[in-house]
Amino acid sequence: HFAAVEMVPGDPILGLSEAYVADTRPGKVNLGVGIYYDEQGRIPLLRAVREVEQALALEAKPRGYLPIDGLATYNVATQKLVFGEDSPLLAAGRVATAQTIGGSGALRIGADLLKQVLPIAKIAISNPSWENHRVVFGSAGFEVLTYAYYDAATHGLDFPGMLADLGKLEPGTVVLLHACCHNPTGVDLNAEQWQQVVELVKERKLLPFIDMAYQGFDVGIDADATAVRLFAASGIEAFIVANSYSKSFSLYGERVGALSVVGKDRDEAARVLSLVKRTIRSNYSSPSTHGGALVSGVLNSTELKAMWEQELAEMRERIHAMRAGMVEKLAAAGAPQFAFIQEQAGMFSYSGLTKAQVDRLREEYAIYAVGTGRICVAALNRANLDTVVNAVAAVSR
């Protein structure tokens, strides 16, 4: 039966992590991953999460199934976080939200939903984008187009190119947009640029699908949701948001995310929710209980939510400090050309390092980065920063 199955190439980033683990050199550094590490190089377990987890353990509740669309308290709290406490869309009942298996699950359920509603629509993703965007939407049967995004010459945004490409899409095309902390480049739009994109999307009758995997990782909960808030205020009838708590709650393996679909009115949102539920039912029936209970427990407690926001702020401030430290130390080491790293946002930076330089970093210095030059600045800390800076400066000479 399986004789004709060929080996599918593995995920290059996971392959990199395997090579890193196998590396026996002391002082090795893995900048290839997409995970936030703390100053001690560990994945943090947030205090707010631990409090809920301990309370849950004491209760020792039975493990029944969640509803198909997940925990209601989780979905309501998610809506407030994503759309804002006082969102008119929420007041009007226009948002259908379902807890999903991480942000990835939200993307896949959203893709499967759209395929049923708009069978011939195409989707456009940024060039470059998170590799899985192409895989998820391609697997769901979409033709995947790209729009200009990153400008290698400036290490910033090719905004004119982006507008030009979006302007050429056929009406009805789905446009995947990264809300903030763009993966893999770290290059984001500012509020004025978002407003222009919103107007163009409206004019061209495109369907925005916003992927928000890093809310709170750059400036804060509300500021990082600017794209969502501007689309919400635009009068656009329909758009979609996939959000993930993997990073913001440091709950990677708990698979916590949500899909929110905005409809024209309450009635449309209710009908869409019924289709979302059937789509989930046919994929995995219902989400898992534990991660949702943790996030809901934090977000529905005033005290724990404040504690979480503080911990989230500490994470983003540490990232900003690492970016600043890296730029400053690189300049001191004779490599001032990396100043742009400070302007980029979130966990990642397109460093501009070439494939050959990335290979040298790994072979000569035991520093692992993605072949595209993407580095995870959230894996830097005071103990490895000098090692990384000296190696990057050396391969850049």
Catalytic residues: 130, 211, 247
- 68 phi and psi angles, rounded to 5 deg: -55, -40
CB of 126 to ligand PMP, least distance (A): 10
Q: Which residue has the tokens 């010459």?
A: 153
φ/ψ of residue 177, rounded to 5:
-125, 140
**Min separation Cβ 396 and ligand PMP, Å:** 27
- Distance between CA atoms of 221 and 308, rounded to whole angstroms? 11
Closest distance of CB 271 from ligand PMP, Å: 27
Query: Which residue, 104 or 260, has its beta carbon nearer to ligand PMP?
Result: 104
Amino acid of residue 75: N
Residue type, position 136, single letter: V
The token duo for 195 is 């407003």
| Distances 284 to 93, 101, 136, 261, 278 between C-alpha atoms, Å | 26, 9, 16, 19, 10
Report the DSSP pairing between strands 256-262 and 95-101: antiparallel
Beta strands in 73-117 (DSSP E): 95-101
Contacts of residue 297, defined as CB under 8 A and 6 or more positions apart, other chains included, come to 51, 52, 55, 56, 304
CB-count burial class (<10 Å; 0-12, 13-18, 19+) for 78: buried
Task: Collect all residues with Cβ–Cβ distance below 8 Å to 317 and sequence separation of at least 6.
Answer: none
Cβ-closest position to ligand PMP: 102
Q: Please say which residue, 376 or 388, places its beta carbon nearer to ligand PMP.
A: 376
Which residues have C-beta within 8 Å of that of residue 365, sequence separation ≥ 6? 387, 391, 394, 395
Closest alpha carbon to 218 in 152, 312, 299? 312
Give yes or no for a cis peptide into 128 (omega within 30° of 0): yes
Cis-peptide into 171, omega within 30 deg: no
Minimum CB distance to ligand PMP smaller for 100 or for 357? 100
Cβ closest to ligand PMP, residue 288 vs residue 390: 288
Q: Compute the least distance from the CB of residue 224 to ligand PMP, in Å.
A: 13
CB of 32 to ligand PMP, least distance (A): 12
CA-to-CA dists, residue 392 to 33, 82, 275, 353, 387, angstroms: 18, 37, 50, 8, 9
Q: Rounded CA gap, 259 and 280, in Å?
A: 11
The smaller minimum CB distance to ligand PMP, of residues 183 and 381, is found at 183
CB of 185 to ligand PMP, least distance (A): 11
Q: Which is nearer to ligand PMP, 103 or 216 (CB)?
A: 103
Closest distance of CB 34 from ligand PMP, Å: 5
Backbone angles phi, psi at 151, to 5 degrees: -110, 105
**Residue 191 to residue 21: CA distance in whole angstroms:** 41
Q: Which residues bind ligand PMP (CB under 6 A)?
A: 34, 102-104, 130, 178, 183, 211, 213, 244, 246, 257
Q: Do residues 362 and 176 lie in contact, with contact meaning Cβ atoms separated by under 8 Å?
A: no
- What's the N-to-C CA distance of the chain in angstroms? 54
* Tokens standing for residue 151: 């400008």
Judged by beta carbon, residue 99 or residue 396, the one nearer ligand PMP is 99
Report the residue number, 11 or 203, with the smaller CB distance to ligand PMP: 11
